[in-house]
Structure 1
Amino acid sequence: MFQQDRRGANETIGFVLVFSLIVLTVGVVLTAGYSGLQDARDAERVNNAERAFDVLADNIEDITHREAPSRGTEIRLAEASIGSGPPTHINISGFKNGSRVFTTGNYSTDSVVYRAEDTRIRYAGGAVTRIQGGGSTLLDPPGFVISQNHTIIPTVKLLVEDRTVAGAQTVLIRTDRSIREVEISENGGVDTLQFNVSTPAPDAWNGYLEGQGMSCTRTDQGSDRAKLSCTLEGVERVKTVWFLIEITFE
């Protein structure tokens, strides 16, 4: 009789241990799996935003290069936000025989910024950049043509609705052309072409402009902004075209 009681106790203890092990294993799997699912969701959310901004850049190029009057771009926020962001400042100047022969003055262009956790995707000055972890990368370059034979710099100035949309809805980014004009057409060429840009994404711009053959120096202007001064020597023809694009959110 006592042996049967001990067997019953052993079976009960064994059941409790096995059940506890199963509960513990399920808990560990759920915890790790949920974290992994969150990471995958966050990565896919940012990837979707990058694709949407690629479309936005293409749509603005339709306006600036192919005379389209307006375009619309849809983006699903998925617990993120989109709205206007810090401006980018651009100045283009040409020098000949030690004297400045032209300058565009300082353009101040708004930006469209998608924010999710510590990641920002922004469109400003014709470029799409990603800012994360104190650095920035170029996702879509501005449509510049930079060479010593012929340099064409289209400058896209944005007037972005002062508004931020957040949540999980789908937002329509509407872009409308207001002005297009040739700012500078210097067929005689310049000894030095200088391109200055003040931006929260200096790493991205620096890599792009130096990749186009320009020499750049950087001056930090705070934790979230730097100024790049880039030059190209011996340019035979220079043309800058100025576009004004209005952006609203629906």
Structure 2
Amino acid sequence: MTDRAQSTTVGFVVIFGTVLVMVGLVSVSGFAALEDVRDEERVTNGVRSFEVLATNVDDVAIEGVPSRTTTVKLDGVSLSVGPSVTFEVRVPADGFRKTVETRPLVLDAKSGTRVVYANGAVLREDRAGQVMARPPRPLVTADYARLHLVRTRPVAATSVGGQTTASVRTTANGTTVASTGTAGETVYLNVTSPRHEAWGRSLDSHPQMSCAPVGGETVSCVLTTDETTVSVTDVDVRLGD
């Protein structure tokens, strides 16, 4: 009887321990899956907010609206002004060269995924690679190219974070325009960015452009046209909460 009781007790302990381990594993994996879902939701909301931001900056830089304010729900992610992205336009036939450094806005999720706004484009970057969620909009035909570069630059704070809703106020601060005009001229557009792969794929999809990496973080695009206009608009960016 004693041996049987001990066997029953041992069996109960083993089964109960197994149940606890399984419950623990399910709980851990369940919480991990839930956190993954939450991270993906944060990133999706970030992409949508940055698409609205891009539209608002277009209003300021292109449509002549004095300023716009965009709200971005952070929910534990951080919003900051990132390192410079460089755009260079060269037209050798006319001796023209214009280089613009712009400071992108970066939404950094806990998972390491980033959503980035730079010069009209919204990009998403994670461990799987880089994608262009909202492409830039160069106006290029065989007859003319209209390249509008937006130089965003921070005013005051360069980052905000926490469980809050941030505001991004963008204000126009002047536009310069330069034009060239040589029939059949070759135009080079170089982009230097940590996300140059996404830039290259997006610009190369344009029927008038051909793009290829040229080393480091730079992609170079070539197009042929008869007239090129390059507009550069300075946009001040003020972050707040």
TM-score range, shorter chain: 0.7 to 0.9
Question: Is the CA contact 1:195–1:229 (under 8 Å) kept in the aligned structure 2?
Answer: yes
> Where does 1:105-184 land on structure 2 (aligned, <5 Å)?
105-116=98-109, 117-133=111-127, 135-161=129-155, 163-184=158-179
Question: Is the CA contact 2:173–2:235 (under 8 Å) kept in the aligned structure 1?
Answer: yes
Report the secondary structure of 2:82's partner residue: strand
Q: Could you say which residue in structure 2 is the equivalent of 1:211?
A: 205
Q: Could you say which residue in structure 1 is the equivalent of 2:229?
A: 239
Q: Could you say which residue in structure 1 is the equivalent of 2:50?
A: 53
Larger Rg: 1
Q: Could you say which residue in structure 1 is the equivalent of 2:67?
A: 70
Which runs of 5 or more structure 2 residues have no equivalent in the other structure?
A: none
Q: Identity, % of aligned pairs?
A: 28
Which runs of 5 or more structure 1 residues have no equivalent in the other structure?
A: none
Q: Could you say which residue in structure 2 is the equivalent of 1:36?
A: 33
Question: Is the CA contact 1:94–1:190 (under 8 Å) kept in the aligned structure 2?
Answer: no
Q: Could you say which residue in structure 1 is the equivalent of 2:94?
A: 101
CA RMSD of aligned residues (A): 2.3
1:111 corresponds to which letter in structure 2?
A: P
Task: Give the paired residue count.
Answer: 237
Q: Could you say which residue in structure 2 is the equivalent of 1:197?
A: 191
1:104-126 deviations in whole A, cap 9, x for unaligned? 42111111111123222111122
Report the secondary structure of 2:103's partner residue: strand
Aligned partners of 2:183 and 2:124: how far apart in 1?
35
2:219 corresponds to which letter in structure 1?
A: L
Task: Point out the more displaced range, 10-19 or 148-157.
Answer: 10-19
Is 1:227 the equivalent of 2:218?
Answer: yes
